[in-house]
Structure formats: C-alpha cells, structure tokens
C-alpha cells in the first residue's frame, strides 16, 4: 500500500473515531497529494518519493505557522498546527539522529574532499540529495558548517 492509499484509509479511521484534529490534517495531506498527482510533472503517477516530499513540505509549513502563532500569543492555534504536523510526520521516514547525521556528513565531506567553508556548496549539493527526507535541510547545513568551520 502506497502513502496515498494509507492516508485515504486513515481518513476513514479518523472519521469513524471522530478524531477532528487528525481528520483535518489527513484531509489536508490528501488534498496536497491529489494536487501533486494531477500536476504536469507527475502525469497522474504519484510515487512515494513525491508523496514524502509533499508531506515534508506540509509539516514544515505547519511548524512555521505554529511558531508565528506562538509569537502572537495564540497558543490554541499554535498547538493545533503542531498536532497536525505530528499526524503528518507519521508518513515520513524516520529522521536521522544527531550522531547519524554527523557521521553521514563527515562521510560526504571525505568523499568530496572538502577542507574549508569554501567547499560548502559542493558538500551541500551532494548532502541534500543523499539525505533528502532523512534530515532537515537546515540541520544538514548547520552540521556541514560546524564540521568545516
């Protein structure tokens, strides 16, 4: 069962259990997946890799919105967006731990032969492709800067 089918099944379960927050998050995910599926690039073919990218983008948007709401003293909305992000994260691959990210970045730096921050672009190009979906781009960038700096 692919991610799209799993989301559809989980929507049914959320409707039966009357879990409003989960249902809203899943409907949002399904809407975005349908849009991705009908885009010109996908041509009606939605792979799990594309689904993960779409869901990752949604999670990031929800977390950013939660931060904005928290800054505006709207704890209720902040918590709602964080809860939706948590539901969406179930469909993403497990994120790398700090130690795993550190070793992966060190391996990529050795592979590229980078020695200073001037090689940041080379390292980030390869690292962002290899670690896509496994680690946040910002975390990868910070780790590369920390090691090269």
84 and 114 in a single domain? The answer is no
CB atoms within 10 A of CB 94: 9
Looking at residue 42, its pLDDT comes to 65
Burial zone of 45 (CB within 10 Å; 0-12 exposed, 13-18 middle, 19+ buried): exposed
Lowest mean pLDDT among 33-47, 61-75, 92-106: 33-47
Range of the domain at 63: 3-89
* 59-77 confidence digits (pLDDT tens): 989 999 999 999 999 999 9
pTM over 0.85: no
8 and 63 in a single domain? The answer is yes
Looking at residue 2, its pLDDT comes to 86
61 and 79 in a single domain? The answer is yes
Looking at residue 21, its pLDDT comes to 87
Closest C-alpha to 108, from 90, 92, 93, 96: 96
**142: pLDDT strictly greater than 90:** no
44 and 105 in a single domain? The answer is no
Structural domains of the chain, count:
2
Q: What is the CATH number of the domain that holds 56?
A: 1.10.1510.10
Please provide the average confidence, as pLDDT, over all residues in the chain.
86
**DSSP character string of 65-98:** HHHHHHHTT-HHHHHHHHHHHHHHHTTSPPPPPH
37 and 84 in a single domain? The answer is yes
Torsion of the alpha carbons at 135, 136, 140 and 142, rounded to the nearest 10: -140
Q: What is the CATH number of the domain that holds 116?
A: 1.10.10.410
21 and 65 in a single domain? The answer is yes
* 7-20 confidence digits (pLDDT tens): 999 999 999 999 88
């Amino acid at each position: 069962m692919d991610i799209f089918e799993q989301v559809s099944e989980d929507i049914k379960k959320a409707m039966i259990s009357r879990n409003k927050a989960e249902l809203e998050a899943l409907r949002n995910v399904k809407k975005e997946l349908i849009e991705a599926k009908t885009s010109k690039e996908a041509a009606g073919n939605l792979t799990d890799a594309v689904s993960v990218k779409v869901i990752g983008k949604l999670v990031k948007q929800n977390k950013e919105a939660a931060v904005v709401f928290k800054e505006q003293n709207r704890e209720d909305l902040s918590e709602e967006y964080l809860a939706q992000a948590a539901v969406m994260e179930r469909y993403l691959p497990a994120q790398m731990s700090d130690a795993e990210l550190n070793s992966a970045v060190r391996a990529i730096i050795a592979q590229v032969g980078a020695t200073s921050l001037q090689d940041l672009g080379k390292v980030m190009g390869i690292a962002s492709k290899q670690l896509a979906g496994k680690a946040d781009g910002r975390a990868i960038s910070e780790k590369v800067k920390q090691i090269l700096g």
